[in-house]
């Protein structure tokens, strides 16, 4: 089977990029797989590339590339949704390259990985292929205008796959899509090729893009309470982003220089997590919580806010981690202090995390995708009838009196 995955920028860094490479490598065990990257900004991807997976960039943004001289690169995108957060990174050239590639795509299955790209897939993807939209953001993370466009476009696809059961339920309730399968499949998080943490390091780690929604400010305030009682412990925050300077100032204001450090981006992150004894997340929202699963893969217990929608489906409270209310810095500090003060609890939770994280193994998740492909191919005509019936019912409602 030929499978194509559509990605915003396969040369960048981030949760969706990492999980797409993981899925592509796992699928390549039995299928012919390619990743199509809408954009390219550097010579080589930041993540390790499986040689069995072809990488096809569409628009080259590197200095001196022919695409940089193409006037269509400076024209606004027409097809890519203007309400999508990445809209300003897209152009008329991206629209045209995506259309050209998709119209001649010979894949049996095509999977998009963000809303705007899923619109490309719905508009230009060949009808003979199974067309699947992955959602790495939650339904409620999209604005009302974008949700309206997605409802129209997703109705033309075969399936919508979210990363959590909770988000799949929201899509089913708020975005009815007759004839379209809506289901959850978690991200693949492979076992890292390093020894797990032994829980003895006096280090709390955190990772993610340095943006307001990740609430690293709340984590720094909570760590200040930990540091006051256990000054030998340190906080390491991995990531880059626009909040770096503000967080650096906050560390200085709390008198935590030398104890709380902004470490910059790291890829892969597992080697850093394995050197910690606790991983913390203070996010206001997560579509999945990739860093939580990566930490558990390293045998590290996680303290996380119980934010919508991912952490509650990853962490079993009191077994392999701790969940605290969103925005509650006091509860976050208390949970950290409890694990900092109890090495035995850290060790037991870390061992449980290693066992629990096996559900993110590549094999079972690939099987779920293969089962989905078979189901979609088998009931294509039935789903098509449901889609057309729903379309005619909507038309009739508009023209017939109540």
Cα separation, 312 vs 304, whole angstroms:
9
Where do the domains of the chain lie?
2-188+365-395, 203-359
- Give the containing element (helix H, strand E) for 335: helix 329-340
User: Cα separation of 17 and 9, whole Å?
Assistant: 7
Q: pLDDT value at position 381?
A: 76
263: helix, strand or coil: strand
Cα separation, 323 vs 22, whole angstroms = 27
Single out the residue of 127, 123, 274, 266 nearest to residue 207, CA to CA.
266
pTM value is 0.90
The parts of the chain modelled with pLDDT lower than 70 are 391-395, 398, 401-402
Q: Which residues contact 245 (CB under 8 A, 6 or more apart)?
A: none
Backbone angles phi and psi of 188, in degrees to 5: -80, 130
CATH topology of domain 203-359: Rossmann fold (3.40.50)
* Topology (CATH level 3) of domain 2-188+365-395: Rossmann fold (3.40.50)
Which ranges of 125-175 does DSSP label H, i.e. alpha helix?
Answer: 144-154, 165-174
Rounded to the nearest 5°, which phi and psi values hold at 253?
-60, -35
For residue 169, what are its two tokens? 């339920």
211-245 pLDDT, tens digit per residue, is: 999 999 999 999 999 999 999 999 999 999 999 99
Q: List the structure tokens of 366.
A: 């690939």
What are the strands, taking DSSP E only, across 46-178? 54-60, 109-112, 130-135, 159-162
Please tell me the predicted confidence (pLDDT) of residue 13.
84
Task: For residue range 355-390, list pLDDT tens digits in order.
Answer: 999 999 999 999 999 999 999 999 887 777 777 777
Domain 2-188+365-395 shares a fold with domain 203-359: yes
Model pLDDT, residue 393: 67
> What pLDDT shows up at residue 76?
98
**Distance (Å, rounded) from C-alpha 100 to C-alpha 3?**
17
Which pair of structure tokens corresponds to residue 70? Answer: 């193409």
DSSP string, 164-227: SHHHHHHHHHHS--TT-EEEE-PPP-PPPSSPPP-S-S-EEEEES--SGGG-HHHHHHHHHHHH
Question: Do residues 23 and 132 lie in contact, with contact meaning Cβ atoms separated by under 8 Å?
Answer: no
């Amino acid at each position: 089977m030929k499978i194509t995955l559509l990605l915003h920028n396969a040369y960048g860094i981030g949760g969706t990029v990492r999980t797409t490479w993981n899925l592509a490598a796992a699928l390549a065990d039995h299928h012919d797989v390619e990743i199509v990257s809408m954009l390219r900004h550097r010579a080589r991807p930041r993540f390790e590339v499986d040689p069995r997976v072809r990488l096809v960039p569409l628009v080259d943004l590197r200095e001196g590339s022919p695409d940089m001289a193409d006037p269509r690169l400076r024209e606004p995108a027409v097809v890519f949704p203007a309400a999508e957060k990445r809209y300003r990174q897209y152009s008329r050239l991206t629209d045209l390259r995506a259309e050209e590639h998709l119209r001649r795509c010979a894949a049996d299955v095509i999977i998009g990985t963000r809303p705007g790209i899923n619109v490309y897939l719905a508009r230009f993807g060949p009808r003979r292929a199974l067309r699947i939209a992955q959602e790495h953001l939650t339904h409620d993370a999209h604005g009302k205008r974008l949700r309206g466009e997605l409802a129209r476009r997703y109705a033309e696809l075969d399936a919508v796959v979210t990363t959590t059961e909770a988000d799949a339920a929201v899509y089913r309730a708020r975005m009815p899509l007759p004839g379209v399968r809506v289901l959850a499949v978690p991200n693949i998080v492979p076992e890292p090729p390093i020894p797990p943490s032994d829980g003895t390091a006096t280090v709390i780690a955190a990772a993610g893009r340095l943006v307001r929604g990740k609430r690293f400010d709340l984590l720094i305030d909570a760590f200040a309470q930990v540091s006051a009682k256990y000054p030998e412990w340190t906080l390491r925050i991995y990531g880059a982003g626009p909040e770096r300077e503000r967080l650096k100032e906050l560390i200085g204001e709390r008198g935590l220089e030398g104890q709380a450090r902004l470490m910059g981006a790291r890829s892969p992150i597992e080697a850093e997590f394995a050197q910690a004894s606790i991983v913390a997340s203070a996010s206001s929202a997560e579509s999945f919580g990739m860093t939580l699963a990566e930490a558990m893969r390293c045998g590290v217990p996680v303290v996380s806010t119980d934010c919508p929608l991912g952490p509650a489906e990853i962490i079993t409270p009191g077994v392999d981690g701790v969940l605290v209310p969103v925005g509650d810095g006091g509860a976050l500090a208390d949970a950290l202090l409890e694990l900092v003060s109890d090495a035995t609890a850290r060790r037991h939770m870390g061992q449980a995390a290693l066992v629990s994280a096996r559900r993110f193994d590549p094999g079972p998740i690939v099987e779920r995708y293969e089962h989905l492909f078979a189901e979609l191919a088998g009931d294509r005509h039935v789903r098509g009838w449901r889609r057309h019936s729903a379309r005619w019912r909507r038309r009739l409602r508009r023209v017939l009196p109540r």
